[in-house]
Structure 1
Amino acid sequence: MKNLRLHLIVLVLVVVAEKIGNIAFTLGVGKIVLLPMMYALLMGVLTAPRFLKISRDTEINAASSLLGVTLMLLMAKYGTLVGPSLPKILAASPALILQEFGNLGTILVGVPVAVFLGLKRETIGAAHSIAREPNVALIGERYGLDAAEGRGVMGVYIAGTVIGTIFFGLMASFAAAYLPLHPYALAMAAGVGSASMMSAAVGSLSAMFPEMADQLAAFGAASNMLSGLDGLYMSIWMGLPLSEWLYRKVYRIKYGEPAPESEKEAHAE
């Protein structure tokens, strides 16, 4: 009852989003699918105190703490799809496990771009991963969320929450339309550790390949669960060390001097 207002707001947003339903339109040879999750996300942003002021700070803080519960229910639903497709998933297990090395590509691209845009140690938190909940916890424990690295990871986390779902849905449609990759491979690639992003990508793929809808959801869910399990260890053992090393290299190229080892040292300079 303490969060009754929040639950009523969420209920209204969900009903409106579901009433709108999926909106699909063709773009070239591909199909872009706008899902109810996207509408609910955008409407939720509009209810914030900065806009329509329907939600208050108390509702926003309560919603943050309840997010984990709702994602747990979503993953439980996807878990029921993994069982029937288990033989196919086991056959693809090496690919599902090795795909985590592909996530290191965000470091090779993100660190140089961030440094040349002027970011300092925020680069390490922002570019070491896709910055979902386990990565936020890792950076918070290692550096503190009030440090430069903490601001970096939170910036990417917020950006991913706001526009990542839309981006993943569109990217999956374009990849399915223009790249010579099997839909199963694209569904596996969608499981980067974010339930909402994975759901958007798999939803777009399912609209394009309805005969594979259950298998695509199973591959996406299995991939997402594996990314959540081994992705954190990949960040600890490879992601953060690689980000630190590449940050120092790129910093020296841009500024011609060694990178500061801490935010206090950077301010002192």
Structure 2
Amino acid sequence: MNGNVRDWKLHLIVLLLVMVGEWIGAKKIDLGFGVLALFPMLYVLVLGGIISWPAFRWLSEPQMKKAATILGIAFMLFVAKLGTMLGPSLLQIFDAGWSLTFQEVGHFVGTIVLGLPIALWLGMGRESIGATFSIDREPNLAIISEKYGADSPEGRGALGVYVCGTLFGAIYLALLAGFLGSMGIFHPISLAMGAGVGSGSMMAAASGALAVVFPEFEKDIAVFAGAANLITTILGTYICIFFSLPVTVKLYGWLAPKIAKNQVAKEEETRI
């Protein structure tokens, strides 16, 4: 841990990225039918991805691993800050009642109902089970690895979505949340609850974009996004084990012969 903290090159890069992001500030790009909200964290994510590109050799692999460790500590501080905001707002959260609970259904059913048919249509086989039963963060990877094995088709599908979510998830959700918020269809608190998908980085990016679009709701957005993220994290493991994964397997058995006949045939040949 001391080596991570004393890597001054990492600290200097982070400081420079923060300064650049704050200097650019929040921007809104009007697309006519909606607005893209750009904010400092989004710039820093993109610039950090460019700096860490292996071909540039600006950062070594050990330094990237150190940065990942420090990121975990930073998110602990961020969650602690959210906790101090949740306490005074508990009555407001309780008033949301069932809406805060039921919106969690979309985080799991949405990936299955929408994602599974698309994955099969794109030619995925049993990889689609691991890829679509959840948003595939660390607890979900553990579930798939325990049931099927990390080197199984299901494990490869889950790992693929995990990597894509890590690389692009925060950027994608930030752009999507800002765009949906600008359309005026959804209430900002509803969008804030939807931002709590069970990933700290994705939640922070989405709620940050919403705060740019709805500055008057900035505190409420942070509170409800944090509450939804906490609920998803706590209940998500059990829902994935007892509901999402079994339902995905059943739907795969029903949809695969209809949508991905060739892929099913290849899988059967491989087993033989």
Q: Which digits, 9 at most, give the CA deviation of each residue in 1:96-146, with x for residues without a partner?
A: 111121121210111111112111111111101111222122222222322
Contact 2:117 2:259 in 1 (8 A): no
2:60 counterpart letter in structure 1 = R
- Equivalent residue number for residue 39 of structure 2: 35
Relative to structure 1, is the Cα distance of residues 200 and 142 closer, same or farther in structure 2, using a 3 angstrom cutoff?
same
Runs of at least 5 residues in structure 1 that lack an aligned partner in the other structure: none
- Equivalent residue number for residue 78 of structure 1: 82
Does 2:165 correspond to 1:165? no
Which TM-score applies when normalising by structure 1? 0.88
Contact 1:122 1:149 in 2 (8 A): yes
Give the drift of 1:245.
0.9
2:50 counterpart letter in structure 1 = L
State the percentage of identical aligned residues.
42
RMSD (CA atoms): 2.4
Contact 1:21 1:35 in 2 (8 A): yes
- Equivalent residue number for residue 3 of structure 2: 2
Equivalent residues in 2 for 1:106-185, closer than 5 Å: 106-185=111-190
Equivalent residue of 2:3, what SS? Answer: coil
Deviates most, 232-241 or 77-86: 77-86
Equivalent residues in 2 for 1:172-251, closer than 5 Å: 172-251=177-256
How many angstroms apart in 2 are the aligned matches of 1:18 and 1:141? 43
How many angstroms apart in 2 are the aligned matches of 1:93 and 1:266? 51
Give the drift of 1:218.
0.6
Q: Which digits, 9 at most, give the CA deviation of each residue in 1:4-35, with x for residues without a partner?
A: 14444334333333333322233336432212
- Equivalent residue number for residue 58 of structure 1: 62
How many angstroms apart in 2 are the aligned matches of 1:35 and 1:145? 37
- Equivalent residue number for residue 15 of structure 1: 19
Deviates most, 149-158 or 218-227: 149-158
Q: Which digits, 9 at most, give the CA deviation of each residue in 1:31-53, with x for residues without a partner?
A: 32212222222222222353321
Runs of at least 5 residues in structure 2 that lack an aligned partner in the other structure: none
How many angstroms apart in 2 are the aligned matches of 1:202 and 1:255? 37
How many angstroms apart in 2 are the aligned matches of 1:66 and 1:16? 20
Which TM-score applies when normalising by structure 2? 0.87
How many angstroms apart in 1 are the aligned matches of 2:101 and 2:208? 23
How many angstroms apart in 1 are the aligned matches of 2:261 and 2:30? 49
Equivalent residue of 1:25, what SS? Answer: strand
How many pairs were matched up? 266
